[in-house]
């Protein structure tokens, strides 16, 4: 089922000199990964879901560290737009943390996934419409490129979580919670941005 193994932005050869294009591609990857989770069962579903949790956690953390702070001051009303997006991201993070503990074969898993998908998609649409459009209008090419570089660093440096059943349960717990993954990603982005200065 390799055709179902959703690639991630950064796996392709796009130059990634524009943070808005990069984040929009990630929104596409997230949509495809939801499709993949829905299309699989058993261990494949579990694996696809782990990858979805990681991608979402890394994507949202990178936005929070890189683009939201820029958007706050880049255009009038930016402050409120960012507050609204942060509230949506907080809800998604809570749902992810809850679902992260779940067996993907649990009968309540799919209904929750469908709800999460709807929320995440509405959030992505709102970002593209109310935030990214303004970033793209206001940022020069150098700024767009620098932000893209930081987002890619987050993706590259965030820890990968082991496949459940392959690693020991203890190792999973150690790497486990979504919040810890987001914290590590935050550190990675901050290091990347510090180096760019
Ligand atoms: Fe977001
Ligand atoms: Fe996003």
Give 63 Cα–ligand 1 centroid separation in angstroms: 6
Give 162 Cα–ligand 2 centroid separation in angstroms: 24
- Could you please state the CATH topology (level 3) that the domain comprising 14-195 is classified under: 1.20.120
Name residues whose C-beta falls within 8 Å of residue 165's C-beta, 6 or more positions apart in sequence.
Answer: 43
User: In this predicted structure, what is the pLDDT of residue 100?
Assistant: 86
Give 134 Cα–ligand 2 centroid separation in angstroms: 14
The whole-angstrom separation of Cα 140 and Cα 157 is 26
The whole-angstrom separation of Cα 153 and Cα 157 is 6
Ligand found nearest the CA of 86: 1
Record the pTM: 0.85
Give 9 Cα–ligand 2 centroid separation in angstroms: 13
Q: In terms of Cα–Cα distance, which of 145, 127, 149, 135 is closest to 60?
A: 127
Confidence band for 86, pLDDT divided at 50, 70 and 90: very high
State mean pLDDT over 51-76: 94
- Residue-wise pLDDT tens digits, 155-183: 887 766 544 444 444 444 444 578 888 88
The whole-angstrom separation of Cα 43 and Cα 197 is 43
Does the pLDDT of residue 196 top 80, yes or no?
no
Q: Where are the domains of the chain?
A: 14-195
Give 67 Cα–ligand 1 centroid separation in angstroms: 9
User: In this predicted structure, what is the pLDDT of residue 9?
Assistant: 59
């Amino acid at each position: 089922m390799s055709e179902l193994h959703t690639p991630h932005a950064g796996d392709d050869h796009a130059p990634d000199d524009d943070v808005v294009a990069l984040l929009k591609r990630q929104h596409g990857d997230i949509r495809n990964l939801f499709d993949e989770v829905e299309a699989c069962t058993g261990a494949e579903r579990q694996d696809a879901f782990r990858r979805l949790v990681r991608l979402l956690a890394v994507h949202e953390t990178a936005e929070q560290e890189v683009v939201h702070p820029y958007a706050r001051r880049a255009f009038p009303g930016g402050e409120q737009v960012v507050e609204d997006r942060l509230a949506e991201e907080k809800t998604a993070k809570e749902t992810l943390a809850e679902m992260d503990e779940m067996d993907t074969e649990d009968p309540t898993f799919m209904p929750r996934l469908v709800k999460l998908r709807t929320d995440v998609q509405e959030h992505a649409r709102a970002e593209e419409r109310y935030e990214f459009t303004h970033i793209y209008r206001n940022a020069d090419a150098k700024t767009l490129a620098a932000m893209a570089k930081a987002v890619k660093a987050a993706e590259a440096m965030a820890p990968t979580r082991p496949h459940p059943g392959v690693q020991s349960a203890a190792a999973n717990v150690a790497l486990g919670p979504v919040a810890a993954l987001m914290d590590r990603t935050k550190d990675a982005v901050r290091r990347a941005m510090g180096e760019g200065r």
